[in-house]
Amino acid sequence: LKLCGMAQRGYLPPIFARRHARYGTPTYAILLGGIVVMALCPMQLNTLLELLNFHYVISILMEYAAFLKLRISQPHLHRPYKIPLPTWACILMLIPCVGMMLVVMALASCGTYIACLATMTVATLLYSLRHSLWTPAMESVQPEEDDGDDD
């Protein structure tokens, strides 16, 4: 259902937000998810774990960068939760985490770097095209209420 939610918010084409008239299932999103899983099935488990960890590390590094940027550039911005440390202590707190993440990235294979570059290129392309191609079409797709279930 992640693809359906992303389509409902305009990050993917609206076809992935369409639901079956009778059952309410996001058919096209499920089909795409199944195709991706089948494409990854022949890969070895350690390769899949390496890909997963590499992509996760990239996303966490971006979160850390955003955290520090906002902490420095907009220190008085209201936040639902604020870490009760000065900025220099937050940076010190992140150094071991970032160090271990860089080790994970350094141990990755060339194929993992290529796969990450490909997925980031596709994601950037989809993000840049979303306003011009399918965001106006999203006005006809109404998102469902979130019941808190992520499955």
Q: What is the DSSP letter of 43?
A: S
- CA–CA separation, 68 and 87 (whole Å): 8
**Model confidence pLDDT, tens digit, residues 97-110:** 999 999 999 999 99
Question: Which tens digits make up the pLDDT trace of 11-30?
Answer: 888 888 899 989 999 999 99
Half-sphere exposure of 20 (CA within 13 A, CB side): 10
Phi, psi (degrees; rounded to nearest 5) at 82: -125, 135
How far is residue 90 CA from its own chain's centroid? 24
| Backbone φ/ψ region at 143: left (φ over 0), alpha (ψ -120 to 50), beta | beta
Q: pLDDT by residue (tens digit) across 134-147?
A: 655 555 555 555 55
Q: Is the pLDDT of residue 151 over 50?
A: no
